[in-house]
Structure 1
Amino acid sequence: MLRKDDFVLLLSEKRTYLVQKSHGKLHTEFGVIDLTKIKKYGQSIRTHKGVLFLVVKPTLSDMMKKLKRMPQVVTAKDAAAIVAHVGIRPGWKCVDAGAGSAFLALMIGNVVGPRGKVVSYESNKKFAEVAKQNVKKCGLEKIVKIKNKPVEKMNEKGLDLITLDIRNVDQYIEKMFKALKPGGWLVVYSPYIEQVISARKVMQTVGFAHITTKEVIEREWQSDYFSRPKTRMLGHTGFLTFARKVSKKIPIKKKLAEKQKTEKEN
């Protein structure tokens, strides 16, 4: 039995509507739908003009199309590449820094499930509030936690995955290395190649292995009469740099370099 504040997705061959039952009546170009008559997912309902709609439970993908966006979000194509490359599993413990509107945190949380945890850091108070609202709207507040703090204050340890979408990312890579468990993954989202280059250098220095950078390009096709790629496409959004923690400790060469630098300064 559905509650009055539950979201439902109304599907027809031509249109979809995402609404809450509590809205009472939905006015559409196909007629008025009485939402109070919706009792369960899977049922059918007609508008007052007789147009049929199927009532289904919205997926996270459906919900995210209606979420509020503040800064530019990590798109589904990039989030899917992260999930696939690192092989996220239920029960993983993750940190996401640079929550923005919480799109990436939500997609990771949807995979790790109730046994997992995603803590997402966002220093901007306005962004953090929007992120919290989006998490609650998707019903993942028990899995995804938004912290209105800079990533410098991160204190989680033994993590399976850390994702970074922040400025000056190279300054935080060593801290992330220490926070990951052996075998854990660090993923850096960078809009510019210069940021990728500096991040990779630090990753190599502190002891990360299997460092890989990818760019995901998405192109939709149209096939009404003749098949061809659509004129518009979702091109460059950001670079994804993956790195894995293999060693438990920062390499000796890193420590020696720091010692030599300190001695030189003194």
Structure 2
Amino acid sequence: MRDVVEYGHRVLLAFEDGSHFIVSAGEDSFGTHKGVIDLSKLIGAEYGSALKTAKGEVFFVMRPRFVDDLFKMKRRTQIVYPKDMAFIVFMMDVKEGDLVIDAGVGSAAMCGALARSVGNMGRVFAYERRKDFYDIAKSNLEKWGLLDRVELKLKDISEG
């Protein structure tokens, strides 16, 4: 079975010069320094394949990794960076099936890392008191497909 891009999939477009962009496969076009990309042409392309911009510049069609999203995601807060996330998850020994509390979710970068670590059998209980941060966090967790592992609460953790 081929692993291909479908309509609405989030795709990482990687150029040989190291530049990369995350887009949604669909009906729009996307302008880059290497030329315009018709996003409808991504649909049906195999992940890992090479395509060309309107200017003939080669780019690769990739699945975005969680770490790619961290640097491209919508945020209004400072995030915990991957090397620190790894240290925290390792030192806390977070693993499949664990129950974890996250206070002050912000943009959900750390919450996302925790949700990935606890897996489908675990749960992250996440608290954010600011509505604007809560909305961004919820959007990011939905985009990453992790909201089902998180009980996201719009309240101060001291209020339970």
Q: Which amino acid aligns with 2:14?
A: L
1:35 equivalent to 2:78? Answer: no
Q: What does residue range 165-176 of structure 1 map to in structure 2 within 5 Å?
A: none
- Contact 2:74–2:136 (Cα < 8 Å) also in 1: yes
Report the number of matched residues.
154
Secondary structure (helix, strand or coil) at the match of 1:142 reads helix
- Contact 1:99–1:120 (Cα < 8 Å) also in 2: yes
TM-score by length of 1: 0.54
Aligned to 1:18: 22
Which whole-Å deviations, capped at 9, do the CAs of 1:105-129 have from their partners, x for residues lacking one? Answer: 0111122222221121011222111
Which whole-Å deviations, capped at 9, do the CAs of 1:122-147 have from their partners, x for residues lacking one? Answer: 11222111111111122211112321
Aligned to 1:76: 82
Aligned to 1:135: 141
- Contact 1:105–1:120 (Cα < 8 Å) also in 2: yes
Q: Which amino acid aligns with 1:100?
A: G
Secondary structure (helix, strand or coil) at the match of 1:126 reads helix
**Structure (1 or 2) with the larger CA radius of gyration:** 1
1:3 equivalent to 2:6? Answer: yes
Percent of pairs with identical residues: 36
CA RMSD of aligned residues (A): 1.7
Gaps of at least 5 residues in structure 1 are: 155-266
Deviation, 1:57, is 0.6
Aligned to 1:145: 151
Secondary structure (helix, strand or coil) at the match of 1:133 reads helix
1:111 to 112, 117, 130: 117
Gaps of at least 5 residues in structure 2 are: none
Q: Determine which structure has greater relative contact order: mean sequence separation of CA pairs < 8 Å that are 6+ residues apart, divided by chain length.
A: 2
- Contact 2:27–2:38 (Cα < 8 Å) also in 1: no
Q: What does residue range 91-102 of structure 1 map to in structure 2 within 5 Å?
A: 91-102=97-108
Q: Which amino acid aligns with 1:36?
A: S
